[in-house]
Structure 1
Amino acid sequence: MLDDERRADHQTHFALAVVTSEPHNTERLRELLTGPAGMTPDGGGFNPHEGPAGRTVLYFRTGGTAKGWPRRLELLVDGHDELLATHLRSTEASRPARPLPEPPAGEEATRRMFEMLTGAWTTQALCTAAELGIGDHLYSQPATSAELAMLTNADPDLLHRVLRYLASLDVVRRDGEQWALTGLGMTLRTGALRDVARLYGGIFYRSFGSLAHSVRTGENAFAHALGLPPFDYLNEHPEQARVFHGAMAAGSSWFSGVPRAIDFTDAGTVVDVAGGHGDLLRHILKAAPAIRGVLFDQPAVADAAREELEKDGLLDRCEVVGGDFTERVPEGGDVYLLSRILHDWDDEHCLKILANCRRAMPETARLVIVERPIPTDGTPSLAIAWDVHMAVNNLGGRERTDEEYRRLLRTAGFDLVDIRPLTLDMAVLTAVPAGGS
C-alpha cells in the first residue's frame, strides 16, 4: 500500500517521534520545519489514550514534489505539549478564507447553458438546410418532407427530423403535412444568407474546432485545422472561395446605408481598395450617377468583379484593376474605401495598407472605413463575437474600438473626423490626411 501511495504521489508522509527530554527542542524543530524546510502548519491534536501521559501530534504539509520529500509530516510528542495551541493558531492563519459556496444552478440557467452548448447543432442544421437549398425550394411553394426529400435527394426520415428541429428554431413552420418558410427562414435563400450558412457551417466550423489549440498556443486556428492560412486556402480551393465571396456579399445588407451616411456626390472618383466583387461600390455608383469608380483587388477577384459590374451596366463608369494592396493602390482618387479590410490584419499590416493609401491620396481626398467597432461602454454588440471570429479565421485579425482605429490612423498620417452608425453594429469612419480638412 505504501509503495502504491508513493507511485501515485498520494498523501506521502513521515511521522517523527520527539524523544528528547530537553526543553525547547520541540519548539526548535518546529521552527526548522516552518522555516528552512518551507513546510506549513496543518493542524494537530492531543490523544489522551496514547501512552501513559497521552500524545500530542503536530501536522505539517508542503507543496513540494521533489522525489523523497513528504507532502505531509507529523511530529509526535509524549504528553500534552504547550506548542499545540500556537500550532493550531498558525494553521488557521495559513489557510485561505473559504469562499461561500455557489448556489446550485437553477433550471433556467441549466437550460440556457444547454442551449449554448448545442449551438453547434443549430449551425449544422442551418448549414444542411442551406446546402440542400431548402430555403429556395420552400420559397417556391410549401412542401411535405417526402417532397423535399425527392427534390434534394435526401433521406426522408432524417430530413423530416431536421425540419422539425428547424421549426423549433422558427426557421420553418408546419402547416398540416407541409412545411413553409417563416420570415426568418427567408434569409436562407440564395442571394440572402445561404452562402453565409454554408461558410459558417463549413470551413469556419472546422476552424473554430481548433479554438482551444489557438488559445493555448497563439497559433492560427484556421491554419491548424485546414493546413493553410485562410487566404492561401481560398486561393487553392476555388469552390470554397466562391462560397466565401458569396457570403461576404450576402452578409452586407448594410451596404445600402453607406451612401446615405456619406455624401459621395461631390467625389469625382471613388477607389474601392480590396473591394471584392464590388458590392459596396455598386451601391455607391448607383446612388451617385455622376461619379466614377475604381475597383482594386487581387487579379482573380478583379476578374469576377468585372463580370458583376457588367451585369449592372456599370463598367462604363468603373475601372477594374488587379493588384496587391500591401504593395500599392491606385493613385488620384477623391475617396478611398476600405470596407471590412482592416479587421483582417494586425496593426503592422494595417499601417502598411493605410500608408499605401496615404501615398496614393491627394491632400483633399477622404478615407472611408467600414468596420464593426467594439463598444467600450458595455453595450451588447456583434463585434464582441466577431472579434474572436477574426482571431480564428485570419492571421492577426481583430475588431477594434473607435480609439484603437483613431490611433492607427494617426500613426499612418490621418485624422479621424467622423463616425456614423450603420445597421448590424457596423459603422462608417471618415478620415482625412493629417492637417487636411
Structure 2
Amino acid sequence: MVPFMTDLTASPVTDPLSIYRYRDGLYAVDLVTAALSLDFFTWLAAHPSTLAEICVHHGFKERPADVMMTLFVTNSWVRCNGSTFHLTPTGQEHLCSGSEWFLGPYYASLHDRPIARDFIQVLRTGKPAGWSGDKAAFDWHKAMEQEDFARSFTAAMDCRGRYLAQALAKKLDLTGRNRLLDIGAGSGIYACSIAAQHPHLSAVVFDQAPVDRIAGKLITERGCADRVTVTTGNMFDGLPTDCDVHLFSNVLHDWDVNEVRQLLAISHASLPPGGLLIIHDAFINADKTGPLHVAEYSCLLMHSTQGKCYSTGEYAALLTEAGFTPGEYQDTVVGRGFMLATRG
C-alpha cells in the first residue's frame, strides 16, 4: 500500500527517471524481436521505402508501423531521408541477415515471447492486444469499464501522477484562469495538484463510471472536495461548457488520429474564446528522431491501446486544424512535458 499523500505541492528529493524508464520501455525489445523474426531489416536494406510502401508490402497498418519506424530511427538503426527510410551502417552491419555481424540469432530465443507475438498481429491489424499480453482480456478501453481493472489501473496512474502532476502544476501559468476541466482524469490527481498549486482556481474531474466513483472518494480523502468536483460522462459525447481551461493529461496517447481529431474538436467547441488547452504527455520530437525513452514508451501504448506517443509536429497540425493556436512544447520530468494551445 502506497502511503496517502496529503501535501499536493510536495516533490521528491531524488530523481526517479531510471525507474520510470524500465517500466515505460518494457515492450520495446519485443517490437525489435518481432521485426527481426520477419527479417524486416534485411528487406529494408534492399528496398528503401516510405512508410506507406512499408505498409503495403508487409500488410502493416500505419499507426503501429509508424511507432516501429520511429523506434528504429531513434536508435540510429534507420534514417529517414525526406520520407524514405534507409538502413544506417549500424543497421546494415548488425541487423541484416547477410552480414557476418548479424545479431538476429541472439534474439531468436525471444521470438515466442507473448508480447513479441502480439506485435506481429498489432502491426497487421492495427488493433490493440489484450492488456499485458492476456489473450482473454479486453483491450484497455473495454477493460476500464470493469470495476476491478479500473480500480487497479487508476491506482497505478495515481501513483505515477503524484510526481508528474507536481512538475506540471509548478510550470503552468494559470493567471487569470478560473476553472479547469481535467478530461479523462482518472483519480483526479492532476486536477487536485493543479488546484493546490493555483489556489485561485477550481477544477472539475471528468470521467466515466466506474472511475468517477473512485476519483470522488480519493478527492474527498485528499481534502480537495471544496474546490475539485466530479462530473460523469463520456468525453466523446461532449464536455461541460463552464470551464476556461481544458487538460488532457496522458489521454490523447490512448487514441488513434481520428479520435484525437474528434476530441480536440469537442474541446474547441466547449471552451470559450481565448480558452486554454493543455496537453500533458510524453512527446516525440518534431522530426521523429527521439527521445529514445518516449519512442520506447510508444511501443507499450501501440501494443495495448489504440494510440501512440505523438510528435510535437503532429499535435501542432491537429491543434491548428481544430481551430487552436498551438504554443511551444515545454519539458517537465521523466520524459514528459506539455503543449499549450489557445482557442481562437
Q: TM-score, normalised to structure 1's length?
A: 0.51
How big is the shift at 1:322? Answer: 0.2
Q: Matches of residues 7-406 of structure 1 in structure 2 within 5 Å?
A: 102-104=99-101, 209-222=117-130, 225-236=135-146, 238-252=147-161, 253-375=163-285, 376=287, 378-395=289-306, 397-406=307-316
2:325 maps to 1:423: no
Which structure's CA Rg is the greater one? 1
Higher relative CO (Cα under 8 Å, sequence separation at least 6) belongs to 2
CA contact (8 A) 1:366 1:433 kept: yes
In 1: Cα distance, 2:141 partner to 2:167 partner:
28
TM-aligned CA distance change 1:332 to 1:208, over 3 Å: farther
In 1: Cα distance, 2:98 partner to 2:260 partner:
47
CA contact (8 A) 1:294 1:318 kept: yes
How big is the shift at 1:400? Answer: 1.1
- Helix, strand or coil at the partner of 2:325: strand
The one-letter amino acid of 2:154's match is: H
In 2: Cα distance, 1:338 partner to 1:292 partner:
16
Q: Deviations over 1:216-236 (max 9, x none)?
A: 443432288235332212323
CA contact (8 A) 1:358 1:433 kept: yes
Moved more, 227-236 or 328-337: 227-236
Q: Deviations over 1:182-215 (max 9, x none)?
A: xxxxxxxxxxxxxxxxxxxxxxx96665222222
CA contact (8 A) 2:203 2:228 kept: yes
Q: Deviations over 1:236-291 (max 9, x none)?
A: 3x323222112212223222111221112432111111111101111111111121
CA contact (8 A) 1:234 1:241 kept: yes
- Over the matched positions of the two proteins, sequence identity in percent amounts to 22
In 2: Cα distance, 1:406 partner to 1:264 partner:
21
- Helix, strand or coil at the partner of 1:251: helix
Give the structure 2 partner of residue 23 of structure 1: none
CA contact (8 A) 2:329 2:338 kept: yes
How big is the shift at 1:303? Answer: 1.2
CA-atom RMSD, angstroms? 2.9
CA contact (8 A) 1:271 1:335 kept: yes
The one-letter amino acid of 1:212's match is: I
TM-aligned CA distance change 1:393 to 1:100, over 3 Å: closer
Give the structure 2 partner of residue 65 of structure 1: none
Give the structure 2 partner of residue 407 of structure 1: 317
How big is the shift at 1:364? Answer: 2.0
Q: Deviations over 1:98-122 (max 9, x none)?
A: x9963447xxx899x57x977x9xx
Q: Deviations over 1:288-319 (max 9, x none)?
A: 11211111110321111111111111111122
Give the structure 1 partner of residue 87 of structure 2: none
CA contact (8 A) 2:192 2:228 kept: no
The one-letter amino acid of 2:302's match is: A
In 2: Cα distance, 1:274 partner to 1:372 partner:
16
In 2: Cα distance, 1:336 partner to 1:216 partner:
35
TM-aligned CA distance change 1:117 to 1:310, over 3 Å: farther
CA contact (8 A) 2:169 2:197 kept: yes
CA contact (8 A) 1:206 1:226 kept: no
In 2: Cα distance, 1:214 partner to 1:356 partner:
28
CA contact (8 A) 2:235 2:263 kept: yes
How big is the shift at 1:391? Answer: 1.5
- Helix, strand or coil at the partner of 2:277: strand
Q: TM-score, normalised to structure 2's length?
A: 0.64
Provide structure 1 residue ranges, at least 5 long, that are not aligned to the other structure: 1-98, 121-204
Q: Deviations over 1:332-389 (max 9, x none)?
A: 2121101011111111111111111111111021000101111236344321112221
In 2: Cα distance, 1:400 partner to 1:313 partner:
35
In 1: Cα distance, 2:169 partner to 2:144 partner:
30
CA contact (8 A) 1:208 1:221 kept: no
In 1: Cα distance, 2:183 partner to 2:101 partner:
54
The one-letter amino acid of 1:259's match is: A
